[in-house]
Amino acid sequence: MNDSKLIKYLLQETDEMENKHIQQWIEADPDHQKQYQHIRLIWEKSLNAPISDKIDVEEVWEDFKNRRSQKRPFLGKQFFLAQWYKVAAVFILVFVTSFLVYSNLMAPDNQFISNLSLESRNKSLSHTIFDGSTITLNKDSKLTFNQSIINPFRKAELIEGEAFFEVERNESRPFEVNVGAAKITVLGTSFNVKKHNEQIEVILKSGSVQVDFEGEAHIIKPGDKLFIDGLKGLLTITQVDDQLYNYYVGDYFKAHETPLWRVVEVLNQAYNSNIVIANEHLRNLPLTTTFSNDSLENNLEVLKATFGLTIVREPNRIVIK
């Protein structure tokens, strides 16, 4: 249908036959109705001037065409796709952001949530957690560590074995180690913890440590060894005279005027061996040296060469004479 005829229809300038024809055309097809409504809408907006007694049809028609040419073209499918792309882009952004946050929170070790389980078998194991603190497990040891954004503490539990902690200082988030019936609290320090059955040993290398046991808090200083016998409910604090206790951390033994019996004790622990000193007068021979934690045979040779000892290997033990 010609737009000019529809305009004349709106102006009531058509006769009865034309009116009937136009009405039938409008009702015949939904697209015709849309065209008519579209022209009617633009036409009504064109009637902003004061109404006069006489309307110049040609002038109104020119005004209508001008307004129609200025109207934003219908974008159809392109407009729909553009809007859909925007929605898709927002969805993808939200999804990726959520995935990254979820991945970070569910990672086993991060600054928001940490949930670690460390277990060593036949050799030592070292792990640095998110804050830079390092936990080194001796062989045959098991430890868990957890922290959440709603918990003010960094918490570890030594389930069995031995561990050396080098804790980065953070006064707003203390570091706790639960071991049996005892709880160790530090801000930033290095210390060794050993648990075997109901016996607990804490040796402080640097800094300050608080040990809570049976309702009492005990502060130990560097070089102190706190020993707890859980079965007897006893707690003692003594001095440590050597650095052999953390041999598994640096993977070497360091002795300084250390009696032979103490060296043998640590070697037995390190290699699950059974070394005995047959002669009593040999027990306190002082040893000053550093030797590698590589093999028992090599270290026995160091002792043999240093003191001129005799090493006898028996079925179930090694005898030093």
Tokens of 313: 């290997």
Has residue 164 got a pLDDT over 50?
yes
> Based on the domain organization, do 171 and 224 belong to the same domain?
yes
Distance CA 163, CA 157 (A): 10
Q: Indicate whether 111 belongs to any domain.
A: no
Average pLDDT over residues 2-27: 75
> Based on the domain organization, do 181 and 229 belong to the same domain?
yes
Q: What is the CATH number of the domain that holds 213?
A: 2.60.120.1440
Q: Are 296 and 313 in contact (CB under 8 A)?
A: no
* CA-based R_g, the chain, Å: 44
Range of the domain at 50: 3-70
Q: How confident is the model at residue 267 (pLDDT cuts 50, 70, 90)?
A: very high
CA 87, 89, 95, 101 dihedral sign is negative
> Based on the domain organization, do 12 and 48 belong to the same domain?
yes
As a whole number, the mean pLDDT across the chain is 79
Has residue 62 got a pLDDT over 60?
yes
Where among 239, 271, 295 does a domain terminate?
239
Phi, psi angle pair for 35, to nearest 5°: -60, -45
Distance CA 153, CA 136 (A): 20
Which tens digit of pLDDT belongs to each residue from 124-138? Answer: 999 988 788 899 999
> Based on the domain organization, do 79 and 65 belong to the same domain?
no
Quick one: pLDDT at residue 132? 86
Indicate whether this model's pTM tops 0.85: no
Q: How many CB atoms lie within 10 A of CB 186?
A: 22
Q: Which of 240, 180, 167, 242 is nearest to 211 (CA)?
A: 180
Tokens of 200: 């607990």
Has residue 173 got a pLDDT over 90?
no
> Based on the domain organization, do 278 and 313 belong to the same domain?
yes
**Helices (H), ranges, 144-204:** none
> Based on the domain organization, do 228 and 135 belong to the same domain?
yes
> Based on the domain organization, do 156 and 201 belong to the same domain?
yes
Count of the separate structural domains present in the chain: 4
Q: Indicate whether 112 belongs to any domain.
A: no
Which tens digit of pLDDT belongs to each residue from 89-123? Answer: 555 655 454 444 444 444 455 555 567 889 998 88
- Residue 17, CA atoms < 13 Å, CB-side half-sphere: 0
Residues 6+ positions from 283 with CB-CB distance below 8 Å: 259, 260, 261, 277
